[in-house]
């Protein structure tokens, strides 16, 4: 009996040591980002996940600004937010592809505390069939648009941080397609992967200004954007995308906001997302030593599962092509 | 009896090796292949599965030894896409950014291996110098094409003039490190346009004839994309460059799904700092902190990077690291990328946890450096 207990202890010991080590080394250190009474700006905030985020932030007592292209949709969104929360959101009509327009818009609403770069367009198609204009459209809106937003907001955010002494946040809406590239998503995955490179480097640059970067990775979410995307999706993409469940915009918004408030670098939105985040943790920063522990312990199994997924996907592609040939 | 228990973790099954000092006066029962002699005190490693008092046949040892072999076999079955050899000799290799640096080294190497090489770059003079240098070194004449990869039409014309491609090497790249706050949006756009859109333009232009070519020749083709260790982790000063290089990975993972049925294989090469004219340019602009952080990975010569790259292309590897740190980085950032080698897959699965831990140590080191640098600056 004693030997069994001894065995058990010796099994546990290295795990405890790893846990303690992680508690010491995880960087950046955890931080809480308050929302109440602070200025939250959401791009792509007139519909879908952005709108849900804006409404939630308003409900939590934040001062909210939403940025989008269409003034009518902006007005409808502001009306809805006022109706649901009593809060008057500021509406900014601008196209994120235009850096001057973005800068002007941000100037009118004053310094931002929580910048949510949520705008995104997605048109899935095989690269061979897709027009370069569409590829460029996604790169301009999803990637360059985010650069424009951050460039415009950063100076005032830094200034604000010094004055208030409170932590600020730059949150970037990515996608599970920003964790793994699959059939039909060459352009979209390129833009979303790009946002991660931007975020990892940006966190190094802004940490000393008490600004905290957050990446959110939702799965397919029930939004007008998704409805548009589904019209164009290649069959194989549908087969592969079925590997992960869909979510409602409001649930994604809740996960996103919680992640922003706890200054998490990587914010998954559902179970598959959590598994994906462990598999693709790479060299990303991790503030929570418990999550770090999960990542270290789960990494091997997740890589194995990832290889199983690729086995599944390549087989599906093979089968689909064989079926097509026979027709 | 004194005991030291050594824990080995192996794909989540635990094997306990117990070193036991045998005292001559005591009798022990052993499980395993070694039968201890009463009079021989010695330190022996004996696999004990449950308790040293149970008597079990040596057959209990078998599953323990077989587990890694079985696991490797499972991986060999699972890994996709299946590995292929992409021949270079006598085939058409098209290299962008091929007039200097890694591209030039690649062109020279491919020419020496008997490929028919085309190089694309912007400046005609540099292209001619490159052609002369390759002729001098290998006796082979490469075809030269002048075009800016940002111009989709010019790229399409050049690719058409060059003829159907077997191995497309999207190697061109520009890099200007700077804090995003200080960097001009024009420079950010420059990097995204050249590194990312330029690669899209190339692949769009070459893909149709590449597909036809593999049908006609029955040989596998390759689309190789030059990334960077900055495409595996983003660090201080590299918001734009890392964005463009990370993006290439999203492109590559999706592209491999789309072109596998046409026997086209995607390879991504991840070199560290490499001694090239491009690097000399970059180094001048580097922020202090980027130097402190990037000092973590060793530099390489362009020829050595080219050799690793070509080897990786020929074995149709999806991820091609170029040095030891690169290999560690690749295991840490394997994510959900495809893997055609079951041995590498084994290394990835076994090393993933440890590599994540190492990655966290790196971030601890980097954030501490950033903190120290700022305190020093404040103190001045």
pLDDT digits (tens, 9 = 90+) for A169-213: 999 999 999 999 999 999 999 999 999 999 999 999 999 999 999
- Are B20 and B133 in a shared domain? no
Question: Cβ–Cβ of B250/A201 closer than 8 Å?
Answer: no
- Are B161 and B279 in a shared domain? yes
In angstroms, the CA A204 to CA B217 distance is 49
Contact residues on chain B for A8, CB-CB shorter than 8 A: none
Residue A274, chain B, CB below 8 Å: the answer is no
CB contact at 8 A, A114 and A260: yes
- CA-CA-CA-CA torsion for B224, B227, B229, B230, nearest 10 degrees? -160
The question of ipTM being above 0.90 is answered as yes
Q: Is B341 a catalytic residue?
A: no
CB contact at 8 A, B239 and A196: no
- For chain B, the domain total comes to 2
| Residue A72, helix vs strand vs coil | helix
Question: Cβ–Cβ of A314/B338 closer than 8 Å?
Answer: yes
Task: Count CB neighbours of B63 within 10 A.
Answer: 11
Contact residues on chain B for A285, CB-CB shorter than 8 A: 363, 367
Q: How far is CA B73 from the centre of its chain?
A: 23
The A residues from 53 to 92 touching B (CB cutoff 8 Å) are none
CB contact at 8 A, A154 and B181: yes
- Are B110 and B236 in a shared domain? yes
Contact residues on chain B for A279, CB-CB shorter than 8 A: 335-336
Inside any domain, residue B75: no
The residue segments making up the domain with residue B303 are 92-340
In angstroms, the CA B241 to CA B178 distance is 9
In angstroms, the CA A64 to CA A284 distance is 29
- Are B194 and B294 in a shared domain? yes
Q: Which of A4-13, A243-252, B200-209 has the highest mean pLDDT?
A: B200-209
Question: With 90 as the cut, is the pLDDT of residue A240 above it?
Answer: no
What is the number of residues in chain B? 380
Q: Is B245 a catalytic residue?
A: yes
- Are B106 and B20 in a shared domain? no
A27-41, A145-159, B66-80: lowest mean pLDDT where? B66-80
Q: Which residue has the tokens 């250190």?
A: A29
Nearest by Cα to A262 from A202, A213, A208, A206:
A213
What CA–CA distances, in Å, run from B57 to B29, B36, B50, B61, B282? 11, 15, 13, 8, 65
Given this model, what pLDDT does residue B296 score? Answer: 57
Angle (nearest 5°) at CA A291 between A290 and A294 = 95
Inside any domain, residue B348: no
What number is the average pLDDT over the span A138-142? 98
Inside any domain, residue B270: yes
Given this model, what pLDDT does residue B57 score? Answer: 67
Question: Cβ–Cβ of B257/A182 closer than 8 Å?
Answer: yes
Inside any domain, residue B359: no
Say how many CB pairs under 8 Å bridge A and B.
286
Write the burial class of residue B285 (CB in 10 Å: 0-12 exposed, 13-18 middle, 19+ buried).
Answer: middle
Tokens of B333: 């950032």
Packed helices B152-162 and B198-217: angle between N→C axes, nearest 10 degrees: 30
The A residues from 138 to 157 touching B (CB cutoff 8 Å) are 139, 143-144, 147-148, 150-151, 154-155
CB contact at 8 A, A163 and A35: no
Phi, psi of A122 (to 5 degrees): -145, 120
- Are B23 and B105 in a shared domain? no
Given this model, what pLDDT does residue B21 score? Answer: 37
The A residues from 181 to 210 touching B (CB cutoff 8 Å) are 181-202, 204-205, 207-208
Q: Which chain A residue is nearest to residue B5, measuring alpha carbons? A: A10
Question: Cβ–Cβ of B254/A143 closer than 8 Å?
Answer: no
Stated pTM of the model = 0.90
Contacts of A16 (CB under 8 A, 6+ apart): none
Write the burial class of residue A167 (CB in 10 Å: 0-12 exposed, 13-18 middle, 19+ buried).
Answer: middle
- CA-CA-CA-CA torsion for B247, B252, B258, B262, nearest 10 degrees? 150
- Are B288 and B180 in a shared domain? yes
CATH number (domain holding residue B141): 3.40.50.720
B332: distance to nearest CA of chain A, Å? 5
Given this model, what pLDDT does residue B297 score? Answer: 60
Inside any domain, residue B58: no
Domain boundaries, chain A: 30-282
- Are B100 and B43 in a shared domain? no
Tokens of A75: 């007005």
- Are B284 and B332 in a shared domain? yes
Question: Cβ–Cβ of B196/A202 closer than 8 Å?
Answer: no
- Residues of A with catalytic roles: 174, 188, 192
In angstroms, the CA B179 to CA A216 distance is 23
| Residue B261 per-residue DSSP state | G
Tokens of A309: 């997924």
User: Who among B80, B257, B336 is closest to A179 (CB)?
Assistant: B336
A93-97, A241-245, B221-225, B365-369: lowest mean pLDDT where? A241-245
Given this model, what pLDDT does residue B275 score? Answer: 87
Q: Does domain A30-282 have CATH number 3.40.50.460?
A: no
CB contact at 8 A, A110 and A39: yes
Contact residues on chain A for B67, CB-CB shorter than 8 A: none
State the DSSP string of A13-38. Answer: HHHHHHHHHHHHH-SSPP-----TTS
Residue A178, chain B, CB below 8 Å: the answer is yes
Packed helices A224-232 and A48-59: angle between N→C axes, nearest 10 degrees: 160
Given this model, what pLDDT does residue B271 score? Answer: 96
Question: Cβ–Cβ of B51/A317 closer than 8 Å?
Answer: no
- Are B40 and B143 in a shared domain? no
Mutate to test the interface with A, among B78, B175, B233, B247 (most CBs of A within 10 A): B247
Phi, psi of A283 (to 5 degrees): -115, 25
A129-138, A229-238, B176-185: lowest mean pLDDT where? A229-238
Q: Report H helices in chain A.
A: 2-25, 48-59, 71-85, 99-109, 132-138, 145-164, 186-206, 224-232, 235-241, 249-261, 271-279, 289-326
List per-block mean pLDDT (blocks of 10 residues) for chain B, which spans 380 residues: 34 36 38 39 43 59 83 92 96 97 97 97 97 96 98 98 98 96 97 98 98 96 97 96 98 98 98 89 88 78 97 97 95 96 94 95 95 89
Q: Report H helices in chain B.
A: 61-78, 101-112, 124-138, 152-162, 185-191, 198-217, 239-259, 277-285, 288-294, 302-314, 324-332, 342-379
CB contact at 8 A, B231 and B249: yes
In angstroms, the CA A276 to CA A285 distance is 16
Contact residues on chain B for A193, CB-CB shorter than 8 A: 246-251
Inside any domain, residue B62: no
């Amino acid at each position: 009996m004693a030997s069994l207990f001894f065995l058990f202890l010796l099994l546990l010991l290295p795990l405890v040591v790893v846990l303690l080590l992680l508690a010491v080394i995880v960087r950046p250190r955890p931080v809480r980002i308050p929302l109440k009474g602070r200025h939250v700006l959401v791009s792509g905030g007139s519909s879908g996940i952005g709108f849900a985020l804006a409404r939630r932030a308003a409900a939590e007592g934040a001062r909210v600004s939403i940025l989008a292209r269409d003034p009518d949709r902006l007005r409808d969104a502001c009306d809805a937010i006022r109706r649901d929360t009593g809060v008057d959101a500021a509406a900014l009509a601008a196209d994120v592809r235009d850096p001057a327009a973005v800068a002007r818009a941000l100037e009118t609403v004053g310094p931002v505390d929580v910048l949510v770069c949520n705008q995104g367009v997605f048109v899935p198609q095989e690269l061979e069939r897709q027009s370069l204009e569409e590829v460029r459209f996604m790169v301009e809106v999803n990637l360059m648009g985010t650069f424009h937003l951050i460039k415009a907001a950063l100076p005032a955010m830094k200034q604000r941080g010094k004055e208030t002494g409170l932590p600020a946040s730059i949150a970037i809406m990515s996608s599970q397609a920003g964790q793994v590239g699959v059939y039909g998503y060459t352009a979209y995955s390129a833009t979303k992967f790009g946002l991660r490179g931007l975020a990892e480097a940006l966190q190094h640059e802004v940490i000393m200004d008490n600004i905290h970067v957050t990446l959110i990775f939702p799965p397919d979410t029930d939004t007008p954007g998704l409805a548009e995307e589904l019209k164009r999706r290649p069959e194989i993409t549908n087969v592969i995308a079925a590997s992960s469940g869909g979510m409602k915009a409001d649930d994604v918004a809740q996960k996103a906001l919680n992640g922003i408030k706890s200054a998490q670098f990587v914010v998954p939105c559902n179970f598959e997302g959590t598994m994906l985040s462990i598999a693709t943790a790479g060299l990303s920063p991790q503030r929570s030593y418990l999550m770090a522990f999960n990542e270290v312990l789960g990494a091997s199994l997740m890589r194995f599962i990832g290889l199983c997924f690729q086995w599944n996907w390549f087989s599906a592609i093979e089968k689909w092509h064989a079926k097509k040939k026979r027709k | 009896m004194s005991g030291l228990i050594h824990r080995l973790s192996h794909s989540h099954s635990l094997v306990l090796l117990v070193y036991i000092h045998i005292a001559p006066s005591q009798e022990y029962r052993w499980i395993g292949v070694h039968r201890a002699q009463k009079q021989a005190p010695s330190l022996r490693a004996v696999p004990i599965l449950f308790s040293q008092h149970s008597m079990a046949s040596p057959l209990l040892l078998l599953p323990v030894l077989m587990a890694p072999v079985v696991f490797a076999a499972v991986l060999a079955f699972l890994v996709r896409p299946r590995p292929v050899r992409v021949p270079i000799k006598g085939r058409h290799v098209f290299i962008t950014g091929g007039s200097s640096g890694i591209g030039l080294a690649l062109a020279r190497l491919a020419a020496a291996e008997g490929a028919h090489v085309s190089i694309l770059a912007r400046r005609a003079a540099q292209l001619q110098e490159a052609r002369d240098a390759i002729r001098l070194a290998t006796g082979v004449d490469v075809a030269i094409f002048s075009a800016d990869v940002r111009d989709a039409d010019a790229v399409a014309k050049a690719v058409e003039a060059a003829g159907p491609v077997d191995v497309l090497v999207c190697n061109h790249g520009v890099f200007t490190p700077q804090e995003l706050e200080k960097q001009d949006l024009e420079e950010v756009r420059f990097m995204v346009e050249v590194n990312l859109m330029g690669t899209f333009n190339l692949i769009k232009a070459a893909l149709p004839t590449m597909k036809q070519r593999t049908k006609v020749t029955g040989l596998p083709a390759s689309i190789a994309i030059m990334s960077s260790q900055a495409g595996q982790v983003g660090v201080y000063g590299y918001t734009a460059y890392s964005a463009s290089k990370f993006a290439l990975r999203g492109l590559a993972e999706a592209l491999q799904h789309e072109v596998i049925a046409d026997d086209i294989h995607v390879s991504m090469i991840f070199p560290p700092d490499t001694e090239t004219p491009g690097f000399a340019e970059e180094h001048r602009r580097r922020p202090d902190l980027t130097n402190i952080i990037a000092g973590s990975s060793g530099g390489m010569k362009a020829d050595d990077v080219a050799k690793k790259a070509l080897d990786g292309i020929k074995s149709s590897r999806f991820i091609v690291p170029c040095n030891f740190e690169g290999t560690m980085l690749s295991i840490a950032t394997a994510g959900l990328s495809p893997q055609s080698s079951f041995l590498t897959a084994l290394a990835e699965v076994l090393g993933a946890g440890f590599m994540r831990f190492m990655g966290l140590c790196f971030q601890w080191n980097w954030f501490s450096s950033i903190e120290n640098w700022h305190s020093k600056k404040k103190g001045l």
